Amino acid sequence: MSETRRKLTTIFSADVQDYTRLMGADEEGTLAMLKRYRNAMSRLIALHGGRVINTWGDGLIADFPSVVEAVRAAVDVQNELAGMNATRPADGRMLFRIGINLGDVIVEGEDLYGDGVNIAARLQASATAGGIVISNTVYDQVRNKVAVGFDFLGPLVVKNVTEPVPSYAVRIGEGTKSALQPEAAANRPDAPAMTNRPLGAKARKMFGLLALLSAVLVVINLLSWRGVFWAAWPLLAFAVLTAMTWVRNQNRVDRGIAALGIAGLGMIAINLLSWHGIFWAIWPVLGLAAAAGVRWVMRN
């Protein structure tokens, strides 16, 4: 019996858009074209350190030890296949959809199983023809390491997976806009690049609630004024909570460094609000600055 074990890997899933239509129009020609295109895909996957695990019908599954190389391979695949399609009529082009996920999978012999594979397949199914869709686990690893853009598509519901999976379309050249799902494109603000995740409904409600509570506390403090502005303390807590929530929903700066910066500002605010002539916050702020510096050096 083959050994069963688990591993963390990057799963690359691809299939052909409108394969049934192509087969109906020309079975032999479509099969020959599929072989040529899949050979080109397999070559590029191997070039980037990946391994083709399985092929069936028009589909292909591969895995990569490197998340970055998996995305680079997908971009190279779509660019090369676009060149191969350029000489064909529009209704005779073979366009692949690619989904990539980083997840824990079950390994049995040469095959992979589990939610990690299922998610990659669902991401692939949500991609447009010639497009690439990646999960948030992949995005977090490659967003500053691959020379492409990304568009947030929102949470993807996956069968038998409890939590929806946030997904991103990889922007490749002029094909960027076509990679967006209609719903995501309609809600996307007009901007050269989308680098922030849209705030969820829960985060927006929390911000509104905190703003309301802050206003109520200030009014209560002023109406019961006894020479002490005690509302400053809960306002500071609300400000830190709001800032940390913002950090989780943005991708302009490193989240760890941003969180350390907010913690440092919070320390300074506490020191000033409880001022007794000593700026003791300099020491924890210095420690946080050193931690941020180490994180920045390790990232670069």
Residue 182 has pLDDT above 50, yes or no: no
pLDDT of residue 60: 94
**Contact (CB, 8 A) for 171 and 71:** no
Mean pLDDT of 120-139: 93
> DSSP E strands: which ranges in 110-237?
111-113, 132-135, 149-156, 165-171
**Contact (CB, 8 A) for 125 and 167:** no
Mean pLDDT of 278-287: 91
The CA distance from 67 to 12, in Å, is 10
Residue 97's closest CA among 163, 29, 167? 167
pLDDT tens by residue, 142-175 = 988 888 899 998 888 877 777 888 999 998 864 4
Q: Which of 89-93, 173-177, 179-183 has the lowest mean pLDDT?
A: 179-183
Pick the CATH number of 4-171 from 3.90.1210.10, 3.40.50.1110, 3.30.70.1230, 3.30.390.50: 3.30.70.1230
pLDDT of residue 200: 54
Tokens in use for 71?
């995305």
Side chain identity, residue 239? A
Residues near 5 by Cβ (< 8 Å), separated by ≥ 6? 106, 107
Percent of the chain clearing pLDDT 70 (strictly above): 86
Residue spans per domain, the chain: 4-171, 201-298
pTM confidence score = 0.57
Going by their DSSP bridges, the two strands 59-64 and 51-56 should be labelled as antiparallel
Residue 136 or 201, more confident: 136
